[in-house]
Amino acid sequence: MQLIDTHVHINFDVFESDLEDIKTRWQQAQVVHLVHSCVEPSEFKSIQALADHFGNLSFAVGLHPLDAQKWTNTTETEILNYAKSDQRVVAIGEMGLDFYKASNHQQQQQVLEAQLRIAHQLQKPIIIHCRDAAQKLKDVLELFWQQTGEVKGVMHCWSGTPEETQWFLDLGFYISFSGVVTFKNAKTIQDSAKIVPNDRLLIETDCPFLAPVPKRGKRNEPANVRHVAEFLAKLRDVPIETLAQQTTDNACQLFNLSLDD
């Protein structure tokens, strides 16, 4: 069995002291590849160093909506240069809209649109962060698809309703579930996870955040993507091996990964 954790932040300080142990545990959990997300371009060097060190790690470069105020007139060039200079850059992001924690809606939208243009230009998939903003995001993406063209991507750490899930499936997106789907009160998210077609489903930890049951409340780490996979397999009534194969194939397809096994 092979699993891919499609969204990690192991460059954060909380992992500094025991990364080798964390690697041992993800290997034991049969996690064969990580896709590292990026909150802001200043992280690029540290993420690149992790990819040098660990090998089976691809990554994104982009600016998170909650850091939208950090966009400057050099950010676009920075993202473009990083993405072009390192073949391990497999996506642009994370980008998106977060109306739950911030009210700079206009600024977030501008920064999102700028990154959509970069991804379209480079023909790279996007990693979308969306919280309490599904309707606005749908409108922005639909307009972009019409005016500029389609971009492939993933709705990461997805927590939307089945209706919202269908919107983004219709736009061509993959839908990625994190540990949140395992929580007891996550009925709506579980309903969404049931309607995602086999060829659009992805799994992630979003570590260090949001550890799945039975690790809830602890620091999260890539090995725990196994718990997300097991939960989704049960929920969708398929063997864990089948779910692992499907989600790994999907990750390879979206991010153009080739696993060196």
What is the closest distance, in whole angstroms, from the C-beta atom of residue 158 to Zn ion in the complex? 12
- Name the minimum Å distance from CB 237 to Zn ion: 29
97 close to 133: Cβ distance less than 8 angstroms: yes
Q: Output 95 or 196, the one with its CB closest to Zn ion.
A: 95
Measured CA to CA, the distance from residue 43 to residue 13 in angstroms comes to: 12
Least distance in angstroms from the C-beta of 45 to Zn ion: 18
CB of 131 to Zn ion, least distance (A): 11
**DSSP state string for 97-112:** EETTT---HHHHHHHH
- Cβ-proximal residue to Zn ion, closest one: 37
Q: Which is nearer to Zn ion, 43 or 164 (CB)?
A: 43
Residue 172, SS3? coil
Q: Which alpha helices (DSSP H) does the chain contain, by range?
A: 19-28, 44-54, 75-85, 105-122, 134-147, 162-170, 187-195, 225-236, 240-255
Residue 147 CB, nearest approach to Zn ion (Å): 28
Q: Which residues bind Zn ion (CB under 5 A)?
A: 37
Instruction: State which residue, 116 or 130, has the beta carbon closest to Zn ion.
Output: 130
Q: Is the dihedral of CA 182, 186, 191, 196 positive or negative?
A: negative
CA dist 176 and 202 (Å) reads 4
> By C-beta, is 37 or 220 nearer to Zn ion?
37
- Say how far apart CA 141 and CA 206 lie, in whole Å: 23
Min. distance of Cβ 37 from Zn ion in angstroms?
4
- 115: Cα separation from own chain's centroid: 15
Chain centroid to Cα 211, Å, comes to 15
Query: Is the CB of 37 or the CB of 108 nearer to Zn ion?
Result: 37
Q: Which is nearer to Zn ion, 98 or 164 (CB)?
A: 98
Q: Other CB atoms closer than 10 Å to residue 237's CB: what's the count?
A: 7
